[in-house]
């Protein structure tokens, strides 16, 4: 094992992580292969592999492995295509590696692999080509190894940065311990039982009497009907579906944004859901669906604000669930899809206004607040004058 190449290997990883914001995706058990990602970097994915002259793998097979791994990441992150920087660090490379192409495409051209061979003969030239992609290249220095302990020091700094990033992501997803989610579930169950006692939750007259969205009464001044439908449900199946959805989505949103921010998101999304339903249709409607879609909207905002934390801890299932629910709303009968869309938009905007705990982005929040004020005023004007 060549210590100088080991040193270069960890120097590179340290440079990508510390100076360019890359994070760990995967590391082999022997720590001789590391995958990194940064959506804002010159290469969204970097794979660094430490090899020796006697490494027995076939170059073509290794390149195919990189292509397959890159395709898995592309699908996971819902990217149209993906570029991978494939870096070999060695004192010398097997002869077969001379025939490896510098550029290769896989999966119908959706995976682009750019290979760099940092070997003893052409390493400096290849390293210069690699560094040309990074605006921070002046901060990378090739140093001769004087003490083997320096390798351990570099390695430990890299892993400390990885752990700090993991801790940051953990804190984002645990900003608040869920409380109001469970309280809201209890309230909507009690409200359902009350409707059943008063004549039945599927009786239109009972729904209107106790606060369902009903346009004629809103036009007469009963503005609170933009909010009271959040607590009412039409039938037991409607209650069960929304209760499970609120339990799973509400807990995530309350953990990420904190308790009181969650309340703002939930009730504002419920309001915007009722508002768009008020504009789009004249039917009686009720349910927490708009507010629950607001939780979808808040998670969508989270995915755009901190993509790496979203995909590493929550994943694409939430995005797929949004699409499925909207599709059901457009194709099934007796579903107030306008309320769903209004809630989704409202939750996204409310998340932009309240932001994340311990986050300083006042200017951005003001822009979201101004856009929200314009949309709400326009919606109310259209609803009351159409």
> Of these residues, 340, 361, 378, 385, which one is catalytic?
340
Residue 23's DSSP bridge partners are: 37
Q: Give the start-to-end residue ranges of the domains of the chain.
A: 3-173, 178-384
Q: How far apart are CA 273 and CA 288, in angstroms?
A: 9
Q: How far apart are CA 386 and CA 380, in angstroms?
A: 10
Tens digit of each residue's pLDDT (9 = 90 or more) over 177-200: 789 999 999 999 999 999 999 999
| Per-residue pLDDT at 380 | 93
Q: Helices 362-385 and 259-280, interaxial angle, to 10°?
A: 30
Mean pLDDT, the chain cut into blocks of 10 residues (386 residues total): 83 91 88 90 92 64 87 80 90 61 80 86 80 87 78 88 78 73 95 94 92 93 94 91 88 89 96 94 90 92 78 65 64 75 95 83 83 93 87
The set of residues, in sequence order, having a beta carbon less than 8 Å from that of 381 and lying 6+ positions away, is none
Inter-residue contact 44 to 83 (CB < 8 Å)? yes
| Per-residue pLDDT at 172 | 66
Tens digit of each residue's pLDDT (9 = 90 or more) over 7-16: 889 999 999 9
Query: Does 112 qualify as catalytic in the annotation?
Result: no
Q: Is 31 helix (H, G, I), strand (E, B) or coil?
A: coil
| CATH topology for the 178-384 domain | Rhomboid-like fold (1.20.1540)
Tens digit of each residue's pLDDT (9 = 90 or more) over 12-33: 999 999 889 898 888 899 899 9
Q: Nearest 10 degrees: CA dihedral of 365, 371, 373, 374?
A: 170
| Per-residue pLDDT at 314 | 65
**Strand duo 45-50 + 82-89: pairing:** parallel
Query: What is the pTM (predicted TM-score) of this model?
Result: 0.72
| Per-residue pLDDT at 272 | 96
| Per-residue pLDDT at 353 | 93
Query: Does 14 qualify as catalytic in the annotation?
Result: no
> Of these residues, 274, 289, 303, 312, which one is catalytic?
289
Burial of 385: CB neighbours in 10 Å, binned 0-12, 13-18, 19+? exposed
Tell me which residue of 334, 333, 331, 339 sits closest to 297, measured CA to CA: 339
């Amino acid at each position: 094992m060549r210590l100088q190449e080991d040193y270069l290997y960890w120097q590179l990883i340290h440079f990508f992580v510390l100076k360019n914001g890359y994070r760990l995706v995967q590391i082999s058990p022997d720590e001789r292969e590391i995958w990194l990602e940064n959506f804002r970097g010159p290469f969204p994915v970097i794979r660094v592999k430490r090899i020796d002259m006697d490494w027995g793998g076939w170059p073509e097979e290794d390149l195919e492995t990189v292509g397959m791994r890159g395709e898995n990441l592309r699908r996971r992150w819902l990217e149209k295509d993906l570029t991978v920087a494939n870096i070999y660090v060695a004192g010398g490379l097997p002869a077969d590696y001379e025939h490896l192409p510098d550029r290769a495409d896989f999966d119908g051209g959706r995976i682009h692999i750019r290979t760099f061979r940092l070997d003893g003969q052409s390493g400096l030239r290849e390293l210069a080509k690699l560094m040309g992609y990074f605006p921070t290249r002046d901060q990378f220095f090739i140093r001769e190894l004087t003490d083997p302990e320096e390798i351990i020091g570099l390695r430990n700094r890299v892993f400390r940065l990885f752990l700090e990033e993991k801790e940051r992501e953990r804190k984002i997803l645990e900003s608040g311990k869920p409380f109001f989610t469970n309280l809201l579930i209890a309230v909507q169950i009690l409200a359902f039982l009350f409707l059943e006692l008063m004549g039945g939750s599927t009786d239109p007259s009972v729904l209107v009497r106790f606060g369902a969205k009903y346009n004629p009464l809103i036009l007469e001044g009963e503005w609170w009907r933009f909010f009271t439908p959040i607590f009412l449900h039409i039938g037991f199946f409607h209650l069960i579906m929304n209760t499970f959805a609120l339990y799973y989505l509400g807990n995530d949103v309350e953990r990420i944004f904190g308790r009181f921010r969650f309340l703002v998101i939930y009730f504002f999304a419920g309001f915007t859901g009722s508002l768009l339903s008020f504009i789009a249709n004249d039917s009686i409607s009720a349910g927490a669906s708009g507010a629950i879609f607001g939780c979808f909207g808040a998670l969508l905002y989270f995915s755009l604000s901190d993509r790496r934390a979203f995909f590493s801890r929550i994943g694409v299932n939430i995005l797929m669930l949004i699409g499925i629910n909207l599709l059901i709303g457009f194709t099934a009968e007796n579903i107030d899809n306008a309320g769903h869309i209004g809630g989704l938009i409202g939750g996204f905007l409310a998340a932009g206004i309240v932001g994340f705990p311990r986050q300083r982005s006042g200017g951005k929040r003001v822009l979201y607040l101004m856009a929200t004020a314009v949309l709400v005023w326009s919606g109310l004007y259209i609803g009351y004058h159409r």
